[in-house]
Chains A and B, each alone.
Chain A
Amino acid sequence: DSGVTQTPKHLITATGQRVTLRCSPRSGDLSVYWYQQSLDQGLQFLIQYYNGEERAKGNILERFSAQQFPDLHSELNLSSLELGDSALYFCASSVVVGGTWETQYFGPGTRLLVL
């Protein structure tokens, strides 16, 4: 158990719909990352938040948005869903080790299926 929680575990929805994925980081971790893993694909970095502010942005579609709230939990909003958005969505939080490098702790993921 990494200490990072994600809800829901599974989500089935239809094309055109909108969903919200939720992530609670490990206690004390200020950074939250969102990744997408499609079938047989690597981890595609979407976006990172640090203490409520966007810190880095990856290949996140305009239909997707995220935010981090004052209690540090984060939500990833996916709208106008397409079949190709079906994937495993991971959230991770990180701790800075020795003041320099970070190791990320991943949640169990949310499996999204768009029909």
Chain B
Amino acid sequence: DQQVKQNSPSLSVQEGRISILNCDYTNSMFDYFLWYKKYPAEGPTFLISISSIKDKNEDGRFTVFLNKSAKHLSLHIVPSQPGDSAVYFCAAMTTSGTYKYIFGTGTRLKVLA
């Protein structure tokens, strides 16, 4: 039962353009969402997050959008840079009730110079 899904295993984008990474979830109890970035041979690192009471959170070149009705979130990177090439994982958690913290399967982003 994959409660957090990233349906695109890979994505290639030209440098300077927008990268859009998508994530869908099934459990309506999730109320906090996070994106992590992972380079080869390293552990994932936290990138940006959003609470379910918001629909957008921005941090520099990174913006996360949340559509609760569609149970969908996306990460926008503008402009994309070659150093953004990595695997991106979305994660969803519950902040009350039964504890859950679930990662998606990841999307490999390649930014082409």
Residues of chain A whose beta carbon lies under 8 Å from any beta carbon of chain B: 2, 4, 33, 35, 41-43, 45, 48, 55-56, 90, 92, 100-109
Contact = CB atoms under 8 A, between A and B. Distances in A.
Interface of B is mostly: strand
25 contacts: A33-B101, A41-B105, A42-B6, A42-B89, A42-B103, A42-B104, A42-B106, A43-B44, A56-B99, A90-B43, A92-B43, A100-B95, A101-B32, A101-B34, A101-B95, A103-B34, A103-B46, A103-B49, A104-B101, A105-B45, A108-B41, A108-B42, A109-B41, A109-B42, A109-B43
B99 A106 contact: no
Contact residues on B (Cβ < 8 Å of other chain), bracket: 20 to 34
A35 B105 CA distance: 12
Contacts, number: 59
A90 B41 CA distance: 11
Contacts of A109: 41-43
Contacts of A108: 41-43
Interface of A is mostly: strand
A55 B99 contact: yes
Contacts of A45: 101-103
B43 A107 contact: yes
B105 A42 contact: yes
Interface of B: 6, 32, 34, 36, 41-46, 49, 51, 89, 91, 93, 95, 99-106
A104 B42 contact: no
Contacts of A100: 32, 95
A113 to B, nearest CB: 14
B101 A43 contact: no
A2 to B, nearest CB: 6
A2 B43 contact: yes
A103 B45 CA distance: 9
Nearest to A96: B95
B23 to A, nearest CB: 12
A2 B101 CA distance: 19
B14 to A, nearest CB: 24
B51 A56 contact: no
B22 to A, nearest CB: 15
